[in-house]
Amino acid sequence: MGWAMSGERVPVQVFGGPTALIEYGGLRFVTDPTFDEPGEYPLGPGLVLTKLEPPTAGPDDLGRVDVVLLSHDQHPDNLDNAGRAFLGRVPLVLTTPTGAARLGGAVRGLEPWTEVVLDRPDGGTVTITAVPALHGPEGAGVLEISGEVTGFVLTGEGLPVVYVSGDNASLDLVRQIAVRVGPVDTAVLFAGAARTPFFDGRPVTLDSASAAEAARILAARRVVPVHVDGWGHFTEDRETLVKAFTEAGLADRLS
């Protein structure tokens, strides 16, 4: 695969946390819907995640949404109460197999490298491919602690390639994805170096330096960072991200 050599950018609007609206091939995709107000959200026994900032838009502000690309359902900073309610308004939700089993309804679980093909309103199709993600450091029992997570790649005839990382912290997986999908036009990277008491405080999403390296590996023409603001456990903000991309000589790729 390769991205179409078009000067037009894929429209991406970011609403805080991991939530963004991507317009692609005439279809409208929302990533990890989080619309709740600031507050404390239990993650498990003795662990609470603190939301610091409200979203910049609510469900009613988004207009038509065709698909939700849900990296995972088990953490409130990726799917909160209002986000769960929002899923019932969307014709198709794609996520992990275990997430689909928990959520039910119009939620479809995808194993890594499986595809869903959707018709475009103006003819042709869009292919959504689930790609692997690891929500924590390599070799640390991540699946047992953090659970399944997925990323996505969007492709279509004459369209650019879009990569949505989900809560992935593994550059090894980014390399595998780069080999299989070729250069990426737009990479929506979940960054912020999220940290919890697990894994000795090591980040469970890309830190800023790793996000820059992921952009280099993917040969991404453009990077839209999400998951860098709004929550107390996001330890690196956009300013840190800009600094890392500048030091890597990639500042011109940041959107």
Strand-strand pairing, 107-109 and 125-132: unpaired
* Residue 61 belongs to domain with CATH number: 3.60.15.10
* Tokens found for residue 130: 């689930």
- Does residue 1 surpass a pLDDT of 50? no
How many independent structural domains does the chain possess?
1
Angle, in degrees to the nearest 10, between helices 208-218 and 171-181:
20
Contact 156, 147 (CB under 8 A): no
pLDDT digits (tens, 9 = 90+) for 84-121: 999 999 999 999 999 999 999 889 999 999 999 999 99
Would 114 be classed as within a structural domain?
Answer: yes
pLDDT digits (tens, 9 = 90+) for 26-76: 999 999 999 999 999 998 777 899 999 999 999 999 999 999 999 999 999
Would 108 be classed as within a structural domain?
Answer: yes
Q: What is the pLDDT of residue 8?
A: 65
Other Cβ atoms closer than 10 A to 109: 19
Q: What is the pLDDT of residue 114?
A: 97
- What is the residue whose two structure tokens read 């928990």? 102
Would 26 be classed as within a structural domain?
Answer: yes
Residue percentage of the chain with pLDDT more than 90: 82
- 131 phi and psi, to 5 degrees? -125, 155
Mean pLDDT of 116-134: 96
pLDDT band, residue 5 (cuts 50/70/90): very low
Sheet strands side by side (includes 92-95): 12-14, 20-24, 27-31, 67-69, 92-95, 107-109
Whole-number Å distance between alpha carbons of 88 and 212: 35
Smallest CA-to-CA distance from 30 within 111, 91, 98, 121 is with 91
Smallest CA-to-CA distance from 14 within 55, 50, 51, 46 is with 55
Mean pLDDT of 121-147: 86
Residue percentage of the chain with pLDDT more than 70: 96
Would 239 be classed as within a structural domain?
Answer: yes
Contact 49, 39 (CB under 8 A): no
Mean pLDDT of 173-186: 96
Q: The whole model's pTM is what?
A: 0.94
Would 3 be classed as within a structural domain?
Answer: no
Amino acid at residue number 137: P
Task: Look up the domain containing 208 and give its range.
Answer: 12-250
- What is the residue whose two structure tokens read 């692609």? 24
